[in-house]
């Protein structure tokens, strides 16, 4: 399955979930449950928006033409460590992503990895096949 | 001569072996050994100094708050941070709750089963000795309190969590005081819980302690040790409230003196370590393990004050503040601990009265390139010190001397046994086949071996000890 | 204290899981539909804090566990017997049915001599030997806390005692209940479930889904702050702790609704960041715990 198909499948999953949620909304009278269901709808919507963005970028995960942006050297990248006003960037497969506000990068670190570094190998060992990157903003490239 | 080995010594925190030589029913020599190694001091090197507060708590599951307090004091000292009065109150309330939790659990879950027959039909409560002297009514009352007390020790931890997030291993204690603020709602809840705990201490725990003391009177005459007492002080030196408990001080040969922290050393004469010198001050060095050292017998080091072993803990504090002067013995330690529980409950009440709701004591902190700081405080089991050096904004040296290291310390060059060993030596053992006296004396010190042997060491070569007839 | 979540029926139902299970199991024991099980609790290379946390259990509580649910045979911190007679109780279970709960990692350096838990026939018994001997024979093995589950703080770099989680040493499946410490509800709920129905549904890391199914971030009461980008810059603030290094977004457990110590509070409720103590890789991969000056 290529990235494109994965994305389409995920959009369909989200749409199915939204259908179920709407069915539930018709039946519940409890305001607490209703809020929870509405939250879920909102989450599905933001998922679909992110996935659509990913498709626009050419199912962009690994595509080199994404986010044409500037070129970084490893030294330049290392300055973007998420501290003292610098955003947090990481490199995967030659592309630089912004993780400043990515929830999984609390403290500009992620499972012992620090921002401002090339995490290609670690990414491959943990997230291969997952559409994680498509949700991140591309800010540049780094020759490998 | 007969050598008795007890392993595990149960109803303590951590793993401990005691071996005693018994000659004509008298303990002629005794050695205590901790049996757990993790190496926290080594682990801390290279970590962010801020992380020490949450990290060092994991040394010990029963007195974790103590380590958060000492590490915070060490960091504040290193960073040059002066804590506000409200910050101290908040933090000391958390610390007080830890005292209450520990003392109630130590008395009922750890000490009482030594003297009281617990309900039959439960494997956990079966013993092999028969030295139970309480009449049935009194025995059963204390046995009932064994379970009742769980409610109150749990409530003490609940109080701790109201300000500290959770327990064990709280999140609240931090540089500047605690992370959160007191609210009127929190203060009211704390007061309510404290009231119940205080009542339980006064109506049940203290009478129960005196009941046990009454039927085991000879324990006032055994387990004395050196009679050297030391405290780093706690609940003391408040700007407005003065000293609510005890200032840093020592007692030796009938004299009470002010503590001079500069005279604290550690000695590795009988421990499997190598350093440039056998005796060093806390900031000087973390000794490297050396298994080949011929005259060593343990990996617990020997903390000394002015070159002498000192006992630490509730009795030392109660003695030094003048609140208890009955004597120094196994039973006096148990009574002093119970009396201290009441005292601490009263201190928490005073601190609660002086809390101002809504005061935020937190700031953004910066780690200096290099610095060093010491955090000395008395905690549940006695004097606890953390010494921290920072280099390139990370920890470069972290020294921890725990209360149980003072009490379970090894012999130094003068061949003076540690306080617990000393307390065991000379004890009359009624029945060497069930030497119940040994465990009772050891438990009167409330040892925490998770704490005492956190230090870095290589594995010990185990020699097989047999009972020598 | 913070009861904002308790009005939601979904959350309150989930909060009842442990107490309902324990009550059902206690009833079933009383009515002799199931039998009391033997329980061995081994404290190995760790801080012995999980047994203290168990004593903090509120509903269900420790007394119910020890008197109605199981025959509690061995625990170093609580048992009245000591020395040889304590070890006799432990070794006496050989050949019988028992559930094994383990807290603490296992030191494997120098054949496990870094942690000795007792003597049997004059010979020291290491934590390593104990887990091998009593783990393989147990009906179920429960890893209580992060150290037993994945090594935890005992295995923190440079791991001087060479500690490992217990699964690596056993040929049978271990149910993992990470958390530093383990919440009493998680342990008692799982124990009751085992007695009533057998093994609960586990995720790919062998954690029971009934307690470890949600990400803290997804049920965090401060999630709206995150979504709107309202971040705390120091401890003590009431907003999202993400910019102080919060690990809620990578930690799976029901801490935000279950809370601690009679549900009175929890770390983020105490205005500090989650440090990921219930997650594999704690502490090394969850550090730094607190960072200031993040962008």
Q: What is the DSSP string of A85-101?
A: T--BEEEETTEEEE-TT
Q: What angle do CA B185, B191, B193 make, to 5 degrees?
A: 105
Q: What is the mean pLDDT of chain B?
A: 92
Q: Are B249 and B233 in contact (CB under 8 A)?
A: yes
Q: Is A52 helix (H, G, I), strand (E, B) or coil?
A: helix
Q: Which of B60, B168, B400 is most worth mutating to test chain C (most C CB atoms within 10 A of its CB)? A: B168
Q: What is the mean pLDDT of chain A?
A: 85
State how far residue A104 is from chain C, nearest Cα, in angstroms. 5
pLDDT of residue C235: 97
Q: Are B344 and B100 in contact (CB under 8 A)?
A: yes
pLDDT of residue B469: 31
- Looking at the fold, whether C122 and C223 belong to one and the same domain comes out as no
Please list, in sequence order, all residues whose beta carbon lies within 8 angstroms of the beta carbon of residue B217, skipping any fewer than 6 positions away. B331
- Looking at the fold, whether C140 and C232 belong to one and the same domain comes out as no
- CB pair distance less than 8 Å for C285 and A112: yes
A82 touches C: beta carbon within 8 Å: yes
In the predicted model, is pLDDT for residue A143 greater than 90? no
Asked which of A11-25, A87-101, B365-379, C39-53 is least confident by mean pLDDT, the reply is: A11-25
pLDDT of residue A61: 46
In the predicted model, is pLDDT for residue B455 greater than 50? no
Mean pLDDT in residue range A107-114: 94
Q: Are C150 and C280 in contact (CB under 8 A)?
A: yes
Q: Are B224 and B127 in contact (CB under 8 A)?
A: no
- Looking at the fold, whether C135 and C274 belong to one and the same domain comes out as no
Contacts of B169 in chain C (CB under 8 A): 49, 180-181, 277
Q: Is residue C89 part of a domain?
A: yes
Number of domains in chain B: 1
Q: Is residue C293 part of a domain?
A: no
- CB pair distance less than 8 Å for B464 and C161: no
pLDDT of residue B452: 64
Render pLDDT for C61-95 as a digit per residue (tens, 0 to 9): 999 999 999 999 999 999 999 999 999 999 999 99
Residue A99: both structure tokens together: 């993780």
Q: Higher model confidence: residue B36 or residue C197?
A: C197
CATH code, B405: 1.10.645.10
Q: Is residue C103 part of a domain?
A: yes
Complex ipTM value: 0.95
A 10 A CB-CB count for B121 gives: 8
- Looking at the fold, whether C247 and C267 belong to one and the same domain comes out as yes
- Looking at the fold, whether C197 and C223 belong to one and the same domain comes out as no
Q: Is residue B116 part of a domain?
A: yes
- Looking at the fold, whether C47 and C189 belong to one and the same domain comes out as yes
- CB pair distance less than 8 Å for C242 and A103: yes
> CB-hemisphere CA count at 13 Å for B375?
29
Mean pLDDT in residue range B300-309: 93
Percent of chain B predicted with pLDDT > 70: 95
| Centroid of chain to Cα C94 | 25
pLDDT of residue C15: 85
In the predicted model, is pLDDT for residue C269 greater than 60? yes
pLDDT band at A64 (very low <50, low <70, confident <90, very high): very low
Q: Is residue B465 part of a domain?
A: no
Q: Is residue C291 part of a domain?
A: no
Number of domains in chain C: 2
Q: Residue B83 — φ and ψ, nearest 5°? A: -85, 140
pLDDT of residue C1: 47
Sheet holding B229-231, edge to edge: B229-231, B249-252, B255-258
pLDDT of residue B411: 87
| Centroid of chain to Cα B220 | 21
- Looking at the fold, whether C147 and C255 belong to one and the same domain comes out as no
pLDDT band at B290 (very low <50, low <70, confident <90, very high): low
Mean pLDDT in residue range B108-113: 97
Q: Is residue B459 part of a domain?
A: no
- CB pair distance less than 8 Å for B456 and C160: yes
Q: Is residue C295 part of a domain?
A: no
- Looking at the fold, whether C191 and C73 belong to one and the same domain comes out as yes
In the predicted model, is pLDDT for residue C4 greater than 80? no
In the predicted model, is pLDDT for residue A63 greater than 60? no
Render pLDDT for B411-437 as a digit per residue (tens, 0 to 9): 888 889 999 999 999 999 999 888 999
Q: How far apart are the first and last CA of chain A?
A: 26
What angle in degrees, to the nearest 10, is found between the helix axes of B64-79 and B85-105? Answer: 160
For B77, the domain range is: 2-452
Mean pLDDT in residue range A114-120: 95
Task: Find, in chain A, the residue whose alpha carbon is nearest to that of C282.
Answer: A111
Sheet holding B26-34, edge to edge: B2-6, B16-23, B26-34
pLDDT band at B465 (very low <50, low <70, confident <90, very high): very low
pLDDT of residue A129: 83
- CB pair distance less than 8 Å for C156 and B43: yes
Rg (CA), chain A: 18
Q: Is residue C107 part of a domain?
A: yes
Percent of chain B predicted with pLDDT > 90: 81
In the predicted model, is pLDDT for residue B454 greater than 70? no
Mean pLDDT in residue range C226-254: 95
pLDDT of residue B257: 97
- CB pair distance less than 8 Å for C79 and B35: no
- Looking at the fold, whether C200 and C227 belong to one and the same domain comes out as no
Contacts of C285 in chain A (CB under 8 A): 111-112
Please list, in sequence order, all residues whose beta carbon lies within 8 angstroms of the beta carbon of residue B317, skipping any fewer than 6 positions away. B231, B234, B245, B246, B336, B340, B378, B382
In the predicted model, is pLDDT for residue A6 greater than 90? no
- CB pair distance less than 8 Å for C246 and A106: yes
A40 touches C: beta carbon within 8 Å: no
Render pLDDT for C11-37 as a digit per residue (tens, 0 to 9): 778 888 999 999 999 999 999 999 999
Mean pLDDT in residue range C38-49: 95
pLDDT of residue C6: 54
Render pLDDT for B184-203 as a digit per residue (tens, 0 to 9): 999 999 999 999 999 999 99
In the predicted model, is pLDDT for residue B168 greater than 50? yes
Render pLDDT for C193-235 as a digit per residue (tens, 0 to 9): 999 999 999 999 999 999 999 999 999 999 999 999 999 999 9
In the predicted model, is pLDDT for residue B106 greater than 70? yes
Last residue of a domain, one of C173, C189, C211: C211
- Looking at the fold, whether C128 and C180 belong to one and the same domain comes out as yes
Last residue of a domain, one of C211, C241, C265: C211
pLDDT of residue B69: 98
Render pLDDT for C117-133 as a digit per residue (tens, 0 to 9): 999 998 989 999 999 99
pLDDT band at B457 (very low <50, low <70, confident <90, very high): very low
Please list, in sequence order, all residues whose beta carbon lies within 8 angstroms of the beta carbon of residue C84, skipping any fewer than 6 positions away. B128, C119
Q: How far apart are the first and last CA of chain B?
A: 6
Contacts of A32 in chain C (CB under 8 A): 7-10
Q: Is residue B467 part of a domain?
A: no
- Looking at the fold, whether C248 and C162 belong to one and the same domain comes out as no
pLDDT of residue B137: 97
Q: Which of A85, A87, A109 sits opposite C288 (nearest CB)?
A: A109
Mean pLDDT in residue range A57-77: 67
Mean pLDDT in residue range B267-278: 84
- Looking at the fold, whether C71 and C188 belong to one and the same domain comes out as yes
Contacts of A86 in chain C (CB under 8 A): 295
Assign domain A64-141 to a CATH class.
Answer: alpha beta
- CB pair distance less than 8 Å for A109 and C245: yes
Q: Is residue C180 part of a domain?
A: yes
Last residue of a domain, one of C148, C182, C211: C211
For C85, the domain range is: 4-211
In the predicted model, is pLDDT for residue B212 greater than 60? yes
pLDDT of residue A58: 63
pTM, 2 dp: 0.89
pLDDT band at B108 (very low <50, low <70, confident <90, very high): very high
What angle in degrees, to the nearest 10, is found between the helix axes of B184-200 and B330-353? Answer: 150
In the predicted model, is pLDDT for residue B456 greater than 50? no
pLDDT of residue C251: 97
Pick from C243, C179, C181, C248: nearest CA to C207:
C179
C275 touches A: beta carbon within 8 Å: no
Mean pLDDT in residue range B290-301: 73
In the predicted model, is pLDDT for residue B132 greater than 60? yes
């Amino acid at each position: 399955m290529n990235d494109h198909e994965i994305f389409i499948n995920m959009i369909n999953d989200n749409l199915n979930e939204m259908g179920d949620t709407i069915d539930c909304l018709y039946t519940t009278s409890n305001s607490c449950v209703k809020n929870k269901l509405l939250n879920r709808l909102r989450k599905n919507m933001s998922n679909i928006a992110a996935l659509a963005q990913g498709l626009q970028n050419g199912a962009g995960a690994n595509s080199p033409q994404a986010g044409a942006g500037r070129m970084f050297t490893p030294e330049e990248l290392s300055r973007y460590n998420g501290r003292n006003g610098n955003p947090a960037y990481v490199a995967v497969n030659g592309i630089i992503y912004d993780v400043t506000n990515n929830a999984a990068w609390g403290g500009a670190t992620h499972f012992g990895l620090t921002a401002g570094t090339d995490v290609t190998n670690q990414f491959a060992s943990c997230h291969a096949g997952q559409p994680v990157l498509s949700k991140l903003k591309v800010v540049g490239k780094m020759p490998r | 001569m007969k050598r008795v080995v007890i392993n595990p010594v149960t109803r303590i925190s951590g793993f401990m072996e005691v071996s005693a030589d018994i000659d004509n029913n008298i303990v002629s020599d005794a050695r205590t050994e901790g049996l757990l190694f993790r190496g926290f001091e080594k682990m801390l090197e290279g970590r962010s100094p801020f992380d020490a507060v949450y990290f060092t708590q994991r040394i010990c599951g029963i007195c974790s708050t103590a380590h958060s307090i000492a590490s915070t004091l060490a960091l504040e000292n290193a960073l040059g941070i002066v804590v506000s009065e409200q910050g101290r109150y908040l933090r000391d309330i958390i610390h007080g709750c830890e005292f209450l939790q520990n003392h109630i659990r130590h008395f009922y879950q750890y000490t009482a089963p030594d003297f009281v027959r617990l309900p039959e039909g439960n494997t956990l409560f079966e013993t092999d000795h028969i030295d139970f002297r309480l009449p049935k009514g009194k025995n059963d009352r204390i046995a009932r309190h064994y379970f009742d007390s769980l409610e109150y020790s749990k409530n003490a931890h609940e109080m701790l969590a109201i300000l500290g997030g959770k327990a064990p291993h709280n999140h609240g204690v931090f540089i500047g005081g605690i992370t959160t603020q007191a609210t009127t709602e929190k203060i009211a809840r704390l007061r309510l819980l404290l009231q119940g705990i205080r009542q339980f201490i006064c109506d049940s725990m203290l009478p129960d302690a005196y009941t046990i003391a009454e039927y085991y009177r000879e324990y006032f005459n055994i387990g004395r040790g050196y009679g050297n007492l030391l405290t780093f002080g706690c609940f003391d030196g408040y700007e407005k409230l003065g000293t609510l408990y005890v200032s840093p001080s020592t007692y030796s040969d009938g004299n009470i003196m002010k503590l001079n922290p500069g005279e604290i050393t550690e000695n590795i004469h009988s421990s499997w370590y190598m350093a440039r010198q056998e005796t060093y001050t806390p900031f000087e060095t973390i000794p490297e393990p050396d298994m080949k050292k011929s005259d060593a017998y343990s990996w617990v080091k020997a903390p000394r004050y002015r070159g002498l072993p000192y006992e630490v803990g509730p009795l030392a504090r109660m003695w030094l503040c003048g609140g208890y002067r009955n004597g120094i013995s196994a039973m006096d330690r148990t009574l002093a601990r119970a009396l201290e529980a009441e005292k601490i409950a009263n201190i928490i009440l005073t601190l609660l009265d002086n809390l101002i709701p809504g005061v935020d004591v937190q700031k953004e902190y910066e780690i200096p390139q290099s610095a060093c700081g010491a955090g000395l405080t008395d905690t549940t089991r006695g004097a606890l010190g953390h010494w921290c050096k920072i280099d390139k904004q990370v920890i470069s040296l972290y020294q921890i001397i725990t209360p149980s290291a003072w009490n379970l310390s090894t012999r130094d060059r003068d061949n003076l046994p540690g306080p617990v060993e000393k307390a065991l030596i000379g004890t009359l053992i009624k029945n060497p086949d069930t030497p119940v006296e040994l465990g009772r004396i050891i438990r009167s010190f409330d040892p925490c071996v998770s704490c005492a042997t956190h230090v870095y060491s290589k594995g010990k070569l185990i020699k097989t000890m047999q009972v020598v007839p | 204290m913070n009861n904002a979540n308790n009005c939601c029926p979904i959350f309150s139902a989930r909060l009842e899981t442990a107490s309902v299970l324990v009550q059902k199991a206690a009833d079933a024991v009383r009515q002799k539909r199931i039998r009391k099980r033997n329980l061995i609790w081994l404290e190995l290379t760790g801080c012995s804090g999980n047994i203290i946390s168990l004593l903090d259990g509120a509903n269900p509580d420790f007394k119910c566990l020890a008197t109605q649910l199981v025959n509690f045979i061995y625990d170093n911190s609580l048992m009245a017997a000591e020395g040889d007679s304590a070890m006799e109780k432990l070794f006496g279970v050989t050949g019988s049915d028992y559930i094994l709960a383990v807290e603490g990692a296992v030191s494997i350096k120098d054949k496990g001599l870094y942690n000795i838990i007792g003597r049997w026939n004059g010979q020291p018994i290491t934590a390593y030997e104990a887990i091998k001997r009593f783990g393989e024979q147990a009906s179920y093995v429960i890893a209580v806390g992060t150290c037993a589950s994945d090594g935890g703080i005992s295995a923190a770099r440079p791991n001087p005692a060479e500690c490992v989680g217990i699964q690596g040493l056993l040929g049978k499946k271990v149910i993992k209940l990470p958390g530093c410490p383990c919440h009493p509800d998680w342990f008692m709920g799982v124990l009751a479930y085992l007695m009533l129905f057998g093994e609960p549904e586990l995720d790919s890391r062998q954690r029971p889904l009934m307690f470890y199914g949600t990400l803290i971030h997804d049920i965090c009461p401060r999630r709206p702050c995150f979504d709107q980008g309202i971040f705390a810059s120091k401890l003590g603030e009431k907003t999202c702790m993400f910019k102080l290094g919060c690990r809620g977004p990578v930690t799976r457990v029901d801490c935000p609704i279950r809370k601690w110590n009679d549900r009175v509070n929890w770390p983020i409720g105490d205005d500090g960041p989650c440090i990921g103590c219930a997650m594999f890789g704690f502490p090394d991969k969850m550090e730094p715990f607190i960072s200031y000056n993040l962008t």
